[in-house]
Structure 1
């Protein structure tokens, strides 16, 4: 029988705390297991091949935008003394790229799990996250570790840059709707834009950053104590501050309004802004379906529904 192994991960979204997290305020990220990424590794006679949506061929000859994957695979094979082994790696991802949903980190986590499974080697959670940074460093330059931690997690992640990264209790009885605006997010531009506002209008910008940090702290309590209505209010307040930071846009604003009109408890952009996705909190799956349908009619490129109970 041909040798075969698998590795899985999933998408993530920032629930609250975008941009303020850059300035040492807390953020909460949620795992989205409904949006999966799967890696399959098959034994072959010769070579190390990659089969993906963006490239099919030898891993050592991947294009520049996949160099992170090449470096990660080489690092793992060297670490476990399997550099001469032959295999084909197939990536099957439901996670859209450049939408703030952790596609590159999810790819890393699944690759690591698949290769370690294929070679019957154990790996600790700490080592898993450390290895994931090999790919993330090439793709994103200076990864915080938040994406890798959340795409491999079962519970929400509480994060303070250079300080705390931990899973928190998750008792929320609600359903999340995610909608793709169809506009690619630009993290680098958005972060630099907020940074420039801190220079040009420090008092106003710092006030929004501090306000978001306070909202995130309150949101953690609502997640742990199952208060979806209160959490929704906080999410909408967070969106107001993100608009104050000027990283929303007209398409995002329109989708937020549509979700709210159609019963969302609270709606906001998720990720860096200037595009990407919005998230809307619904009381249950039925209300989530109604919100998702309204967003699709309003021009959302795609929608996903993630129940929490």
Structure 2
């Protein structure tokens, strides 16, 4: 009888809680440029963060967090203060004053460049809504996740939380309604982690300063990025993956020109291209974090992942357009 009581106690105390999820993401075209109103293309990937939330008595605390996600070494420690502020912003936006206990897990590695912060924001918002029996649309969850993202990115583009919330392939233009793009079938990619925990705020601020200082040069680069993304959209919808790869290579060059890549990112991009990837580029905030390689077959995906791992880096095979 005692054992039964114990198991019931565990069941009701540890399983009866709100749950939510958020997808990881990869930006395929135009990170950074998107902040200035130029369209970008991103996709959710088939990895996600899961949050569980329970009301609790925290004795003077606003929340307790247990972060059990796998991570790039140092990522969670580096982002801890931003994470706390993010949870405060989400709770405030959702009108929650009560103390909550949060558990984070899932198969998305906590790292720079995969939308880890946005995935956790969407997951936490969904789990809070579930625990407090609040019924929100995905659009509203997306707005709460965006509020949470402000703690990590200052002035977020909105693209990460949109992918985290909705999944799919996204055409995103700041200030306009995002558009979900449909491709024929999911496509294999490999994401390579430099192991460097990047500071997105610093990267965004650096671009802003240089754009003011070298206006003419930057205007020309931004114009190229705008033309490129429309070509990329057409190529993706037509499943012309060779062309998509070439345009990814071109986009990486533009990102190098605005100084948001790094020697580690450039190295992994080269490794992937030499292993046969159709195209490869940095992804996300840059200055570290992840790169992405287009590898549209299981065999090629495996070959490129092995080449990255052989150099001592973490490779994450996944798919876009899920």
Q: How would you bin the TM-score normalised by the shorter chain?
A: 0.7 to 0.9
Correspondence for 2:53: 41
Q: 2: distance between equivalents of 1:106 and 1:173?
A: 20
Q: Which residue, out of 174, 187, 200, partners 1:187?
A: 200
| Residues 293/112 of structure 1: CA separation in 2 closer, same or farther (3 Å cut) | same
Q: Are 2:20 and 1:12 equivalent residues in the alignment?
A: no
Give SS of 1:192's match. helix
Following superposition of structure 1 onto structure 2, how do residues 91-170 of structure 1 map, counting pairs within 5 Å? 91-97=104-110, 99-170=112-183
* Unmatched tracts of structure 1, length 5 or more: 55-62
Return the TM-score normalized by structure 2: 0.82
Indicate the RMSD between aligned Cα atoms, in angstroms: 2.4
- In 1, are the aligned partners of 2:204 and 2:285 still within 8 Å (CA)? yes
Aligned residues: 293
Deviations 1:173-211 (A, max 9, x none): 531110001122232332333333333433332222111
Q: Which runs of 5+ in 2 are unaligned?
A: 1-10, 70-79
**What does the per-residue CA deviation read over 1:271-308, in whole Å, with 9 as the maximum and x for residues that have no partner?**
122211110001211210110110111232x2111134
1:70 aligns with 2:82: no
2:66 is aligned to 51
2:238 to 225, 244, 253: 225
**Preserved contact between residue 102 and residue 147 of structure 1 (Cα < 8 Å):** yes
* Cα distance between partner residues in 2 of 1:11 and 1:173: 15
Match of 2:38 among 25, 33, 36: 25
Is this contact kept in 2: 1:171–1:223, CA < 8 A? no
Tell me the equivalent position of 1:242.
Answer: 255
TM-score with structure 1 setting the length:
0.85
Measured in 1, the distance between the counterparts of 2:286 and 2:292 equals 12
Mapped partners of 2:295, 2:147: distance in 1: 37
